[in-house]
């Protein structure tokens, strides 16, 4: 078993990994830049080390991070998600220095990170993919030719893209001509590669992903699916497990496809296979070679601690579960509470948290790195909190989510919490039938009132009086 792990990340996922280490009697080492000097992951880890004044550079320097791991006596690095989590060079440097990378090997990261190579691997494994270009596009003329053959609309995508970036829908040759240089520019800046490819746009699909775990002994299982259809501009907002809108037959098929995909590339550790579902058609979209932001809801419905399993697998241990051991119970929803103003085109709202109160009660979980008095820096992702609820039935899960969102207090910055309450009350959402077009098709949900309810106002007055009295 691993003894000491450096966490090459920040925020709530770093705190999540620290907690898993503590429960496994493994020492945790945090890293931080100047902007994160007072961050919660720094306070919670067994050790914390400064990696530079620049808010980002220290989290993005693989050699510095691996050197620090060696110097502090770590035997592994957990990359979390984002930053270097899907960087094949990082995994290679870890291997060269004798540090376990808690994730798949560099070759698999590279193959699945290259969307055209991933498509080729899936085609060879018999996993259905959307029609599109056979490889990277040579130029605009080839893009126009392929689009003409498969029909509009099409999706122009960065080959090395991820997180919803480097993607544009094109409904006509004119749009493809205008978007082609923009996607190349965005891909080059964000991912260091100008390679792009083309896929048929599946209109109004459901975005369904399957969590997999694979050990070093070729054992692969799935933890069922998550529905990530509630999203804005390819950024997920609310995730649900299991999906309320697929049949048992589709659920079994999706699980089998995900396991087949993982085995096809000799996958090891935790990963997620993402699909687009429309009617009875299912298409492979991509594979994320890391822990997902929304891993929490798979944990809630199956009882499997995914982060602990990651650490066990990296330690060389076999999976503790066979597929027949895995079942799910109830429904779980995760709300990404972003520091954004939904009524102002989701403008980021960074600043000091003047009051934070975490909701509780049965079936409620919060994963966060904020606290009262914490200042959300403007250099990172705007997500400041993950609120997760679980209940036995779909309706009970919706009601619990509404109650938990109402209980929660995050003051000092604007958040998306109030907007999610509107979504939870919407008839279309409550029916359990929605697609990736839900958010743009329901603009009226942004017309909510920002007035405080009487209970919240009373609490604010009480808090002010208590502070004035020195209580």
Domain covering 4-102 in this structure, CATH number = 3.40.50.20
SS3 content of the chain, % helix, strand, coil (to 5): 40, 25, 35
> What pLDDT is attached to residue 159?
87
User: Phi/psi class of residue 71: alpha, beta or left (left: φ > 0; alpha: ψ in -120 to 50)?
Assistant: alpha
User: CA 285, CA 275: separation in Å to the nearest integer?
Assistant: 5
Third-level CATH fold of 206-446: D-amino Acid Aminotransferase; Chain A, domain 1 (3.30.470)
Return the SS3 of 3.
Answer: coil
pLDDT for the residue numbered 395? 98
Nearest to 408 by CA among 347, 349, 470, 459: 459
Residue 18: CB atoms within 10 A of its CB come to 24
State the pairing for strand pair 206-214/220-232: antiparallel
- Looking at residue 307, its pLDDT comes to 98
| CB-CB contact of 349 with 413 (8 Å) | yes
Cis peptide before 153 (omega within 30 of 0): yes
Q: What digits encode the pLDDT tens for the residues 55-86?
A: 999 999 999 999 999 999 999 999 999 999 99
pLDDT at 115: 86
Q: What angle do the packed helices 106-113 and 88-96 form, to 10 degrees?
A: 170
| Helix, coil or strand: residue 380 | coil
Pick the catalytic residue: 226, 290, 336, 365?
Answer: 290
Q: Are 51 and 31 in contact (CB under 8 A)?
A: yes
What distance in Å separates the CA atoms of residue 51 and residue 92, rounded to the nearest whole number?
Answer: 21
- Strand pairing category for 347-348 and 281-288: unpaired
CATH numeric code, 131-200:
3.30.1490.20
**pLDDT tens track of the chain, all 471 residues?**
999 999 999 999 999 999 999 999 999 999 999 999 999 999 999 999 999 999 999 999 999 999 999 999 999 999 999 999 999 999 999 999 999 999 999 999 999 998 889 999 999 999 999 999 988 999 999 999 999 999 999 999 998 876 677 899 999 999 999 999 999 998 898 888 899 999 999 999 999 999 999 999 999 999 999 999 999 998 999 999 999 999 999 999 999 999 999 999 999 999 999 999 998 899 999 999 999 999 999 999 999 999 999 999 999 999 999 999 999 999 999 999 999 999 999 999 999 999 999 999 999 999 999 999 999 999 999 999 999 999 999 999 999 999 999 999 999 999 999 999 999 999 999 999 999 999 999 999 999 987 655 555 555 565 556 555 654
Active-site annotation holds for 19: no
Q: Please state the domain extents for the chain.
A: 4-102, 131-200, 206-446
Would the CATH topology of 4-102 be identical to that of 206-446?
no
Residue labelled with tokens 């989590």: 85
C-alpha–C-alpha distance, residues 184 and 167, integer Å:
10
CA distances from 460 to 288, 300, 349, 399 (A): 43, 33, 21, 25
Q: Residues 6 or more apart from 353 whose CB is under 8 A from it?
A: 370, 371, 372, 373, 374, 375, 376, 384, 410, 411, 412, 413
Angle at 129 between CA 191 and CA 227, to 5 degrees: 80
pLDDT at 237: 98
pLDDT at 471: 47
Question: For residue 367, which of 17, 23, 4, 56 has the smallest C-alpha distance?
Answer: 17
Instruction: Pick the closest to residue 266 from 299, 289, 292 (CA basis).
Output: 289
Say if residues 340 and 415 touch (Cβ distance below 8 Å).
Answer: yes
pLDDT at 316: 97
Please give the Cα distance from 422 to 438 (Å, whole number).
13
pLDDT at 429: 98
């Amino acid at each position: 078993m691993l003894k000491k792990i450096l966490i090459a990340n920040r925020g709530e996922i770093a705190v999540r990994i620290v907690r898993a280490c503590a429960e496994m009697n493994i020492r945790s080492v945090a890293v931080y830049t100047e902007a994160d000097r007072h961050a919660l992951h720094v306070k919670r880890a067994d050790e914390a080390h400064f990696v530079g004044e620049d808010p980002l550079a220290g989290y993005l320097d693989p050699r510095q991070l691996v050197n620090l791991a060696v110097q502090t006596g770590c035997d592994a690095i957990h990359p979390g998600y984002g930053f270097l989590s899907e960087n094949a060079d990082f995994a290679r440097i870890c291997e060269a220095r004798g540090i376990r990378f808690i994730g798949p090997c560099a070759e698999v990261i590279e193959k699945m990170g290259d969307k055209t190579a991933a498509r080729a691997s899936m085609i060879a494994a018999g996993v259905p993919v959307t029609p599109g270009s056979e490889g990277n596009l040579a130029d605009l003329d080839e893009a126009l030719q392929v689009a003409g053959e498969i029909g509009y609309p099409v999706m122009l995508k960065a080959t090395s893209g991820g997180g919803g970036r480097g993607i544009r829908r094109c409904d006509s040759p004119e749009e493809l001509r205008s978007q082609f240089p923009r996607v190349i520019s965005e891909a080059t800046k964000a991912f260091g590669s100008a390679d792009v490819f083309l896929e048929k746009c599946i209109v109004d699909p459901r975005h369904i992903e399957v969590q997999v775990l694979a050990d070093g002994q070729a054992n692969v299982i799935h933890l069922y699916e998550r529905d990530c259809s509630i999203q804005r501009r390819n950024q997920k907002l609310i995730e649900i497990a299991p999906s309320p809108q697929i049949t048992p037959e589709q659920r079994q098929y999706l699980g089998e496809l995900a396991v087949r995909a993982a085995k096809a590339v000799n996958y090891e550790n935790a990963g997620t296979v993402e699909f687009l579902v429309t009617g009875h058609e299912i298409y492979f979209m991509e594979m994320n070679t890391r822990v997902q932001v929304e891993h929490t809801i798979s944990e809630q419905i199956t009882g499997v601690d995914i982060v602990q399993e990651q650490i066990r697998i990296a330690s060389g241990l076999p999976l503790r579960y066979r597929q027949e051991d895995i079942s799910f119970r109830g429904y779980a929803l995760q709300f990404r509470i972003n520091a954004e103003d939904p009524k102002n085109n989701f403008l980021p709202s960074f600043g000091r948290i003047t009051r934070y109160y975490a909701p509780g009660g049965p079936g409620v979980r919060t994963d966060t790195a904020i606290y009262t008095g914490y200042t959300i820096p403007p250099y990172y992702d705007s997500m400041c909190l993950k609120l997760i609820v679980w209940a036995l039935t779909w309706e009970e899960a919706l009601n619990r989510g509404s109650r938990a969102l109402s209980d929660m207090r995050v003051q000092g910055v604007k958040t998306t919490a109030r907007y999610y309450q509107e979504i939870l009350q919407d008839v279309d959402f409550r029916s359990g039938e929605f697609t990736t077009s839900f958010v743009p098709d329901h603009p009226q949900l942004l017309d909510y009132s920002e007035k405080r309810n009487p209970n919240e106002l009373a609490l604010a007055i009480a808090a002010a009086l208590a502070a004035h009295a020195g209580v």
